[in-house]
Amino acid sequence: MASRMGARLPLLLQPTCPPADDRGISGFLRLAVVLGSARWVELVLASVDGAESRHYRSGDPDGRATAVALDAGPDFRADLRLGGAGVPAAEARELLSTVLTTALERHRLRTQTSLLREALDTTSSSILLFDGRGDIVYANPPADRLLSLQTEDELLAETEDGERQPLVTLLCTVVGRIASGTSSSPSWKGRLRTADGRVMACEVTRLPADERRADAVVVLLQPIGAEPAVRVDAFAALHHLSRRESEILELLMDGATTLAMAGRLGISPHTVRDHLKNLYRKTATSSRGELLGMLSRNPAAGEDHKRV
């Protein structure tokens, strides 16, 4: 990946040549035929580091051709061959360079957008993008799951200062303050606790408008754990655990061994093993690690099993 510290552009990738069916390149070739009065054209595009090159053609090469070097921006070298034509005028070469540079920039941005979307889709954090009116215009999969929980069963959340509302309503309230400029800061950071025991770090940041975009506000919700008692209670209710099985689960979270559990609860190790077997059966798991992993991924709702 190319590194350009201090650059104003967003994430910069190793330059790649557009595919053969790229619409921008196809339009460039058609324009080159017209401006150059050529029977056919061929574009040879190569990255400046020599790592990649590609040929593009319109028409079938035959006979004499005129070679013209074009400006393709800082990352590429471009040579255009015009079949059966002379050297284009300076204005035509300038226009062709502009069109080619634009096509390459659009390809770069599409590639970046695809990569960033994949990255956002795989993170465990919830990311929401609001427009200047306070409407949600993007939600990655974890955020989408939160929104679906909100619509299925009102999910209450509480800020550190005690403000308690449905989660989406609370977020919209904070976003409204930030977007309107009534807040003393262009960002807000805090922790949210939901009624099902989840604890999330929340950051709300306003992205000021510029010549390329309107006002927007981005919300980042990062899970940082859950209150143990609420977590176990919700998990136990979902999987119909007995009181003793819930106690075993709490001790599992503390890292207790079978012998330690037996001593703490005043029962035999054999009885502890029986309770563990029941826990595995009710939660469709087969080991302590798998059970605790399920609890940590879905501390209160056990979403993976609700969807089965």
pLDDT tens-digit readout, 54-81: 999 998 888 889 999 999 999 999 999 9
Q: Give the model confidence (pLDDT) of 70-117 as tens digits.
A: 999 999 999 999 998 888 899 999 999 999 999 999 999 898 888 888
| DSSP 3-state of 151 | helix
Q: Give the model confidence (pLDDT) of 184-229 as tens digits.
A: 678 888 888 776 667 788 999 988 777 666 788 999 998 776 556 6
Say what the pLDDT of residue 269 is.
92
pLDDT at 233 over 90: no
133-138 average pLDDT score = 87
Q: Comparing 125 with 150, which gets the higher pLDDT?
A: 125
- Give the distance between the most distant pair of CA atoms in the chain: 97
pLDDT at 299 over 50: no
Q: Comparing 295 with 174, which gets the higher pLDDT?
A: 174
Say what the pLDDT of residue 4 is.
38
Q: What are phi and psi of 44, to 5 degrees?
A: -110, 115
Percent of the chain scored above 90 by pLDDT? 34
pLDDT at 26 over 50: yes
Q: List 276's β-bridge partners, or say none.
A: none
Q: What are phi and psi of 235, to 5 degrees?
A: -65, -40
Q: Comparing 242 with 212, which gets the higher pLDDT?
A: 242
Say what the pLDDT of residue 279 is.
93
Percent of the chain scored above 70 by pLDDT? 84
pLDDT at 134 over 70: yes
77: left (phi over 0), alpha (psi -120 to 50) or beta: beta
Q: What are phi and psi of 303, to 5 degrees?
A: -60, -35
Q: Give the model confidence (pLDDT) of 248-296 as tens digits.
A: 988 887 778 899 899 989 999 999 999 999 999 999 998 888 887 777 6
Say what the pLDDT of residue 7 is.
39
- pTM surpassing 0.95? no
**Alpha helices, DSSP H only, in the chain?**
23-36, 90-122, 141-152, 167-180, 228-239, 243-253, 258-265, 269-283, 288-297, 303-306
Report residue 120 CA to chain centroid gap: 1
Say what the pLDDT of residue 225 is.
63
DSSP annotation of 197 reads S
Q: What domains can you pick out in the chain, each with its CATH number?
A: 23-120 (3.30.450.40), 123-226 (3.30.450.20), 229-306 (1.10.10.10)
Q: What is the DSSP string of 42-64?
A: EEEEEETTSS-EEEEEES---S-
Structural contact between residues 171 and 126, judged by C-beta atoms closer than 8 angstroms: no
Say what the pLDDT of residue 76 is.
94
Q: What are phi and psi of 191, to 5 degrees?
A: -115, 145
Say what the pLDDT of residue 121 is.
80
Containing 193, the helix (H) or strand (E) segment is strand 187-194
Structural contact between residues 31 and 43, judged by C-beta atoms closer than 8 angstroms: no
Query: CA 195, CA 158: separation in Å to the nearest integer?
Result: 8
220-247 average pLDDT score = 79
